[in-house]
Structure 1
Amino acid sequence: MPNLGIRGLYYITHIDNLPSILRYGILSHQLVEERNISYTPIYDTEIVTDRKSILAPDSKSLWSFANLYFQARNPMLYRVIYEKSYKNIAVVEVKPDLLDRPDIFITTGNARASDSEILSQKVGVKRLRQIRKDVDVVWWKPEDGSKRKIMAECLVPDLVPSNFIQAVYVATHEVAEEAKKLLPSDIPIIPEPNTFFQPLWKKRLTPNLFL
């Protein structure tokens, strides 16, 4: 894989799911159901149902893939933070070595969108330079396609083994301390407010007003 400065691939989840992910890996929706694994959902049921009917080039449903994003700071994270609170959300960072696997697929945007291509690993890695450019943006809008493109995915058959996990990101130091109680491991838990659309600092002006 060409070195394009891709630091990692990202999975957005509820903080309560971290122990299960460290134990079993990041599972496809299909495997979660087959193994009857308990988890806390963060997704929109309608969106996930739509993905079940979409097929990858190998004729398998998107439900049979674990999906990772090239950019964690994306519209899905923005939405779940609004719906669930940043205190409940974590971003799991996976080693980019996963992109060397020949059985993965790479998408040019949200895999659910009809305008997105689902590419084989061999073809997809040749498009990574453009994908990197498309996801390396601060904000997005649907009109120019940037909202779809920033959601580019790496689709991994069945599961991402837990040994590929290299870090967990959360919004604040307080959330990091809570996450450490759930994860008795040496995986770094890193507060990164900007990723979670939070200010890097804030100052109390009054009991109810912050700057």
Structure 2
Amino acid sequence: MTPEDLQEYGMDYLYHMTHINNLASIIRFGLLSHNAAHRLNVIQSDISDPDVQDIRAGLVVPFYNRPLHDYVPLYFDPRNPMLYKRREMQEDIVILGLDPNLLFEPNILITDGNAAARETSFYKRPNALNRLPWDSIRSRSWHNIEDGRRIKCAEVLFYDKIKPNKIQFVFCYSQRHREAIITARQGTPILGKVRKDLYF
């Protein structure tokens, strides 16, 4: 598996969604795991589901025997059930487009569905991409796909922290937060762009 092979999967970016209020601290400190972000008290607005987080808090990932909350979760497709559940606030949610070559970093994990689900399998090498159900992951809707809700939330788990220079784009729902994105960039080459197609 090489970086060129990622194009076979149509992988322009890996994605992470967050509230616009968290953007400045992410660009300053990097994208942190749940545990690290709470330890440093840098989360201003939490969009995660408390019930799901309670489940994830009790899980340990295979291979490395670390808490799931010690990993930064990234998605292959951000237009998924997690975002759908928060669609009433999606104008305030920004979607970070990250360098897909993060898949070649050490200690990453790839899942074939939501990492909190019992049925989900974990893999630790990018070669495992060919084992993922891409038709289901890329589908615009999961409602008519068997186990689609879980599969659409397939993840890449990155240990502890992702440096800000791995963030290439900040995608947003509308022009509403254009100035906030420009301010949060803090002189970095990160670009902001309206991508309504990534939302509901």
Listed one character per residue, the Cα deviations across residues 148-203 of structure 1 (whole Å, up to 9, x for unaligned) are 11110000010111111010100012332332233333311110112111xxxxxx
Which of 87, 91, 94 pairs up with 1:87? 91
Which of 59, 68, 80 pairs up with 2:65? 59
Matches within 5 A, 1:46-195: 46-57=51-62, 58-82=64-88, 85-121=89-125, 124-127=128-131, 130-141=132-143, 144-185=146-187, 186-195=189-198
Larger Rg: 1
2:15 matched to 1:10? yes
SS in 2 for 1:11: strand
In terms of mean alpha carbon deviation, does 43-52 or 28-37 score higher? 28-37
SS in 1 for 2:56: helix
Shift of 1:126: 4.0
Report the RMSD for the aligned CA atoms in angstroms.
1.7
Specify whether residues 183 and 122 from structure 1 end up closer, same or farther in structure 2 by C-alpha distance, changes over 3 A only.
Answer: closer
- Look up the equivalent residue of 2:54 and give its one-letter code: T
SS in 1 for 2:83: helix
Structure 1, unpaired ranges of 5+:
198-211
Aligned residue pairs, count: 193
Give the whole-Å Cα distance in 1 for the aligned partners of 2:135 and 2:40. 38
Specify whether residues 77 and 56 from structure 1 end up closer, same or farther in structure 2 by C-alpha distance, changes over 3 A only.
Answer: same
Shift of 1:51: 0.3
Specify whether residues 147 and 107 from structure 1 end up closer, same or farther in structure 2 by C-alpha distance, changes over 3 A only.
Answer: same
Give the whole-Å Cα distance in 1 for the aligned partners of 2:77 and 2:100. 12
Give the whole-Å Cα distance in 2 for the aligned partners of 1:111 and 1:191. 29
Give the whole-Å Cα distance in 2 for the aligned partners of 1:97 and 1:142. 32
Specify whether residues 43 and 138 from structure 1 end up closer, same or farther in structure 2 by C-alpha distance, changes over 3 A only.
Answer: same
SS in 2 for 1:144: coil
Listed one character per residue, the Cα deviations across residues 86-131 of structure 1 (whole Å, up to 9, x for unaligned) are 221100111000001131000000011111101112553442xx34
Q: What is the TM-score of this pair, normalised by structure 1?
A: 0.85
In terms of mean alpha carbon deviation, does 68-77 or 168-177 score higher? 168-177
Check the 8 A contact 2:83/2:90 in 1, yes or no: no
Structure 2, unpaired ranges of 5+:
none
Which of 41, 44, 48 pairs up with 1:39? 44
Identity of aligned residues (%): 30
Give the whole-Å Cα distance in 2 for the aligned partners of 1:178 and 1:35. 23
Specify whether residues 122 and 138 from structure 1 end up closer, same or farther in structure 2 by C-alpha distance, changes over 3 A only.
Answer: closer
List 4+ stretches of structure 1 deviating above 4 A. Answer: none
- Look up the equivalent residue of 1:65 and give its one-letter code: Y
